[in-house]
A and B are shown apart, each in its own frame.
Chain A
Amino acid sequence: MLAYLIRRVAQSGLVLLIVGMVAFGMFRFVGDPIDNMLGQERTQEDIDRLRGQLGLDQPFAVQYFRFLENAVQGNFGVSYRQGRPVSDILLERAPATLELAAVSGFLAIAMGIALGVFTAIRRNGFSANFIMSASLIGVSLPTFLIGILLIYIFSVELGWLPSFGRGETVRIGNWTTGFLTETGLKALVLPSITLGLYQMTLIMRLVRSEMLEVLRQDYIRFARARGLRDRVVNFRHALKNTMMPVITVIGLQLGSIIAFAIITETVFQWPGVGLLFINAIQFVDIPVMAAYLMLISVMFVGINLIVDVLYFLIDPRLRADRAGAH
């Protein structure tokens, strides 16, 4: 187990290095930050001086290496646009995104698994078929359209929920939370549904198909032949086996919930890191973009690592260190 963990962590590190390099390489094509930073009245001297200051005149390898060196120490440089350390800006924006992602992730997993199991067990029922058809909407409509539709119905027409922003937030240490105020909670509803809907339908459809597959297995037949109650067969015997592939997908989807929060945050003007990233692209704010991409990849890699460990815990066959006596 330990050797396995160490190997996986090393692999993760390598992945991060490569992601960083690719991302860093791409920034060269986004545009020249100097254009935005200096006004119309600039001289070639100003430009050269600033370029030298920022280290942008250095070759790619040197820039990347310097970035890595600083990043390892937790220093992601200073935002070109705001003139403040990037790590401060990210920390300030992170709670908004993380809270949004947590709520939508929870929604997606809880509803996705529950509906998936329901539609698998009541395979031919009317409500199961209805849910399956309705889920096509979640899979096929793009996120921004769902967001706009929700805003139109619940904010514009019905006026029940706010259409943008986080509402009032409460500050606890470095963390600002919207969970504790009424407006904060209300503001969470539409964005989290928008963000989680796709993942929810995806998880639901996956759970359903996996569960149907598992329910056909011999050990389920044998469990029924032993007279076990339907509840036990479905939830103890079938669901556990269903969860193996589902966990992988859920893990990856959690990562993409955070990554794709960009769109939802833009639609709802949600003051999180996604919105920060979009603004940074417009301004060619390289330090912010680099830090954001690294953050996202760390998250993905970390989630994958956790998923692998979960596999270990669920499936006894993978626990190689348990010496099986034959």
Chain B
Amino acid sequence: MTEPVLSIRDLSVEIPTRKGVVCPVDGVSYDIQPGEILGVVGESGAGKSMAGNAVIGLLNPPARIAKGEIWLNGTRIDQLSGDAMRRLRGKEIGMVFQDPLTSLNPLLQIGDQLTETMLTHLDISRSEAEQRAIAALQEVGIPGAADRLNSYPHEFSGGMRQRVVIALALCAEPSLVIADEPTTALDVSVQAQIVALLKKLCRERGTAIMLITHDMGVIAEAADRVAVMYAGRLAELGPVREILTSPSHPYTDGLMASTPLASRGKSRLHQIPGSMPRLNALPDGCAFHPRCPYVADKCRHDPGPQGVEGRAACWFPIVRERTA
């Protein structure tokens, strides 16, 4: 096995509040291999974005990493100084945000935003940076790239802006891209294009992607492996086929059953009863037990094993007989 680009070990993020400390990310571990796309799914507040922010060092205080380790290409990065971390951002880790309408500075031309990012990280001249900026825009499929350098963000449509954002995130050729809900704010017709673009660029360059989303369709489309998060913990982690077709955590199972599929016909859509508990009101035992159809006594007292690759965070994982 090659060395993973990103390796998260037992990561916990905590936020001290007046009512005590809450843990939006609680003992999560996963790896991402070079060129791999890891989908991170879960409901809002499950801790998927928080984990991403922890990796890139942009947790909003007072949120902080409480324990665990983050390794990037064999270097531990969770203890780096502010400036050392800043140098990594953009250069080694790129990030794509959810809303392309608000993630570009409205008063700066996109060419400026591209060149300033490259000049910060790469030892190149301004004219060289401009050449590269044109190339970057061409790569993400912006027509007439050379003429668009002087355009302002408001002169682009939403989909085009997300392409610009991707160009910005990738312009210093990072080895890892964290895409935080990159398609959520876009039209359905554009979503597929953006996912395909992200996938293509990363395959070409061998860039690893942490694809944070709650859209199972996007996961099925793009991800190689999936990490399912629930209430800050990793519920299940495995290859996308396995998770989609034979989930072993009851939560994943419910999630799959609630995804609308044309093949299911007009049958009533399944729902997981109840909602995810708030972080300051987590139940004892397994956080999912109040909603779990297979709940047993043990689940109410004991939180269950930590989820890792190939083992769901559940006392009684669903076992399916291999049909193959």
Contacts and interface: CB of A to CB of B under 8 A. Distances in A.
A158 to B, nearest CB: 44
A217 B154 contact: no
B155 A228 contact: no
A147 to B, nearest CB: 39
Interface residues of B, number: 33
Interface stretch (A39-47, A61-69, A97-105, A310-318): A310-318
Contacts, number: 86
Contacts of B156: 326
Nearest to A225: B95
A326 B105 contact: no
Nearest to A220: B105
A239 B58 CA distance: 21
Nearest to B157: A326
Interface string A286-326: 00000000000000000000000000001111000000111
A240 interface: yes
A226 B89 contact: yes
Interface string B86-127: 111111001101010011111110000000110011000000
Given A222-B95, A222-B168, A324-B154, A227 B89 contact: yes
Contact of A316 (B88, B120, B154): B154
A317 B152 contact: yes
A229 interface: yes
Given A227-B86, A325-B155, A222 B107 contact: no
Interface string A156-171: 0000000000000000
A237 interface: yes
Given A219-B103, A324-B154, A326-B157, A226 B120 contact: yes
Contact of A224 (B58, B91, B106, B107): B58
B97 A222 contact: yes
A222 B103 contact: yes
A112 to B, nearest CB: 21
A68 B321 CA distance: 97
Nearest to B61: A124
Contact of B105 (A219, A225, A227, A317): A219
B107 A226 contact: no
Nearest to B87: A227
Given A217-B102, A232-B116, A326-B157, A224 B152 contact: no
B312 interface: no
Nearest to B85: A227
Given A218-B102, A221-B58, A316-B107, A227 B157 contact: no
B89 A237 contact: no
A216 to B, nearest CB: 9
Interface in B116-155: 116-117, 120-121, 151-152, 154-155
A241 B90 contact: no
A172 to B, nearest CB: 40
B50 interface: no
Nearest to A314: B107
Contacts of A315: 106-107
B165 interface: yes
A132 interface: no
A294 B227 CA distance: 71
A223 interface: yes
Contacts of B155: 324-326
B100 to A, nearest CB: 9
Contacts of A224: 58, 86, 89
Contact of B90 (A217, A225, A324): A225
B240 interface: no
A325 B157 CA distance: 10
Contacts of A227: 86-91, 117, 120-121, 172
Contact of A241 (B86, B99, B107, B117): B107
**From B56, B86, B107, B121, residue with most partner A Cβ within 10 Å:** B107
Contacts of B58: 221, 224-225
Given A227-B120, A228-B117, A317-B152, A221 B103 contact: yes
B169 interface: yes
Contacts of A237: 105, 108
9 contacts: A222-B103, A226-B168, A227-B89, A227-B120, A227-B121, A236-B108, A241-B107, A316-B106, A325-B151
Instruction: Name the 7 nearest CB pairs between A and B, nearest first.
Output: A227-B90, A227-B89, A324-B155, A226-B90, A225-B95, A218-B102, A316-B152
Interface of B: 56, 58, 86-91, 94-95, 97, 99, 102-108, 116-117, 120-121, 151-152, 154-157, 165, 168-169, 172
